[in-house]
Each structure stands twice: as C-alpha cells, then as structure tokens.
Amino acid sequence: MKGGTDMTVCNENIKELVAIYSTEGLTATEQNSVEEHIKECEECRYEFDIYQSIEQELDLTKYKAPDSLHTDVMKRLSKYKNLTKYTQYQPYLSIAAAIVFVVFLGFVGLMNPNILKNSSDEAMMVQDEMAVQDQITEEANNEEAATAESYDTSITTFDAEMEEALEDAPSEGAPSEDVAPRMAMEAQTKELDKQESDHRREIIIGLIVLSVFSGILIYRRAKKR
C-alpha cells in the first residue's frame, strides 16, 4: 500500500531496508520504519517473506561436514597423480617420447650392417668378382700398352707392325669377351641395390606403424590417470 506517512511510503529506500531487515545493520528507527511499513504495504510484506526464505536457504553457518569427509577426500586424492602443468601435458609428452624412442631404435637398427647382412653379402661377392674381372682387363690393357710402346721404337717397321697390331685388335662395335659378364654383374648389382632399398622402406614403414600404435597405447593409458 503506497502513500500515507513517510514511514509507510513505498520507495527504493524502504525496499532496501526491507531487504536487509533481518541483519544487524539497521538502527532501531529503521527497524521500526520497516515494521510499520510492512503492516500497511502488501507488496513489501510479500517481498519480506521472500527475503526471509532466501536467507534461511542460504544460511550455511549451522552446517558442519562430517569428520570422515576430509579423510575420504584425502584417500581418494592419494590415487591421483599430482596435477601440475607437466602432468596436464603428460599424455602428449608420452607420445612424443615414444615416437622419438622408436625412431631412434629404428635408425640404430638401420645403421647396424647385420640387419641387411644377406643382401650385403651378396653385393660384396659380386663386387669381388667385378674387381677380379677389372684386374684381368687391366692386365690385358697393360700388355697392349707395352706392345704399342715397342711399336713406336721403330718407325720403319710401323706400317707392317700396325697392320699386325690391327689384325690382333678386336673389331669396333662388337663386344669383347670381357664386357658381357661385366654388364651382367652390373645388372645384378642394381637388382641387389633395389632389393636393399625396398628392405629399408619396409623397415621404416614398420617403425612408423609401431610408433603410432605405441603412441596411441601410451596416450590412452596416460589419459586414464
């Protein structure tokens, strides 16, 4: 109900006093003003009731947690890892560590000649054979060079001897008896190199798959903590 004396006028000022009536903050005069006002003003009486209910609901001072609560909380906390910034990123760090570790192991493995021993041995044998063939060819060339040198010593017998030398030399365009096996060996070496390259690629793919798989496992485990 609005109007009447100053005490019963419904304004912002009296509404504020109604809101804090139950606290110790009002003077005796203010308390009387509120009491007089709510007798007359239905709206403020209604609001007064609301404030009383809110206050009653929000008052937590009379409640005390059971003693066992603290013990139970600390028991449950003991199962937790310490949540520092490091542990927040732990799952990601674990994945990174796993990948680095597996890749490191992979490179160590690739550097180890035993892993590729079979193909390396075969390659070595072919290389040895090629070396022997090279030596034979070199010796033949040396002999030819020595013969040519002796031809140079006599200009007068040059034509005859050249003729003889040309007769001994192989005809141009036709492969010599030494070149055919060498080409076959080169083809074999290329084949072995290709096999070795394929072998390395398989190992690297295997390592990547392994690192991704182990990373996922570690991540899931770290997330569960």
Partner 1 sequence: MDAIEEKLIKKAQKGTRKAFEKLILQHEDHIYAIALKVLKNEADAYDAAQEICLKIYQKIDQFKFESAFSTWVHRLAVNTAIDEYRKLKRKLQKEYSYDQPITEDGGTMKDFIQDTGDTPESNLVRQEQIQMVWEALEKLKDEQKNIIIMKDLQGQSYQEISESLQINMGTVKSRLARSRIALKNVLQDMWEQSNV
Which parts of this chain interact with partner 1 (CB under 8 A)?
15-17, 19-20, 23-25, 47, 49-51, 53-55, 57-61, 63-66, 69-70, 72-74, 76-78, 80, 82-85, 87-88
Q: Report the nearest approach of partner 1 to the CB of residue 20 (Å).
A: 5
Burial of 124 (0-12, 13-18, 19+ CB in 10 A): exposed
- Ramachandran category for residue 3: left, alpha or beta (phi over 0 → left; psi -120 to 50 → alpha): left
Pick 60 or 169: Cβ nearer partner 1: 60
* CB-nearer residue toward partner 1: 16 or 144: 16
| DSSP character at residue 26 | S
Question: For residues 70 and 64, what is the distance between their CA atoms, to the nearest angstrom?
Answer: 12
User: For residues 39-65, b (16+ Cβ closer than 10 Å) or e, as one string?
Assistant: ebbeebeeebeeeeeeeeeeeeeeeee
Nearer to partner 1, 58 or 131 (CB): 58
> Min. distance of Cβ 43 from partner 1 in angstroms?
12
* Residue 30 vs 129, nearer CB to partner 1: 30
**Residue number, 56 or 114, with CB nearest to partner 1:** 56
Residue 97 to residue 119: CA distance in whole angstroms: 33
- Residue 3 or 66: the one with the smaller Cβ distance to partner 1 is 66
Q: What are the CA-CA distances from residue 75 to residues 43, 142, 179, 225 (Å)?
A: 52, 91, 84, 16
Sign of CA dihedral 55, 56, 62, 65: negative
Nearest approach in angstroms of CB 90 to partner 1 is 12
Q: Is 21 exposed, middle or buried (0-12, 13-18, 19+ CB in 10 A)?
A: buried
Smallest distance, partner 1 to C-beta of residue 81, A: 8
> Containing H/E element for 163?
helix 158-168
Write down the least CB distance from residue 117 to partner 1, Å: 50
Least separation in angstroms between CB 69 and partner 1: 6
